[in-house]
Amino acid sequence: MLSMRATAKTKGIKPKHVKDLIPLMILMVIIFLLLLFWENELDEDAVAATLEQLHVDYPQSDIPIRYCNHMIIQRIIKEPNNTCKKEHFFIHERPRNINSVCNSPRRLPCQNHDPSLCFLSEIEFKMTVCKLIEGTRYPACNYRLFTTEGFIVVICDDMGPSKIQRYTE
């Protein structure tokens, strides 16, 4: 016969009913899947930014001070080698109006020996130009803001504008 002390150890604590553990198990599976996908997520630098993310700010953000610095950081705009861009611009126009540039009869060769055909807008767009005044490594970049109106030059594919090459005043 077992002593009282030995008997207490073999009985242990009664487990909860399995149905009480189901919500906890579901939560654990969800957390596991979130961690799994978070680990496998692409590096933010490798994700191709859309034309709209890079250049369109419509309607214009209501940022009264340091608009350029804020937008450059918010949109993660930098050179591939993590240096500050010397110049960047934001167009304050509806995306559909920017898309219509691909229907422009004003065609011209693209810069930088790009074999694509570029299209020049027929109308001027309101834009903010951000010019680097200080800093070399992102995010320690400081920009000066210039507002202007200008024509934009875009590269188009079957889906519409794929890249804004430049602007001209």
Per-residue tokens: 168: 């001209």
Phi, psi of 4, rounded to the nearest 5 degrees:
-60, -40
pLDDT digits (tens, 9 = 90+) for 30-40: 887 777 666 54
Full-prediction pTM beyond 0.85? no
DSSP assignment of 86-103 equals SEEEEE-S-HHHHHGGGG
What architecture is the 51-168 domain classified under in CATH? Roll (3.10)
Number of neighbours of residue 94 by Cβ within 10 angstroms:
13
pLDDT of residue 64: 82
pLDDT of residue 11: 57
pLDDT of residue 84: 97
Low-confidence ranges of the chain (pLDDT < 50): 1, 13, 40-47
Number of neighbours of residue 151 by Cβ within 10 angstroms:
17
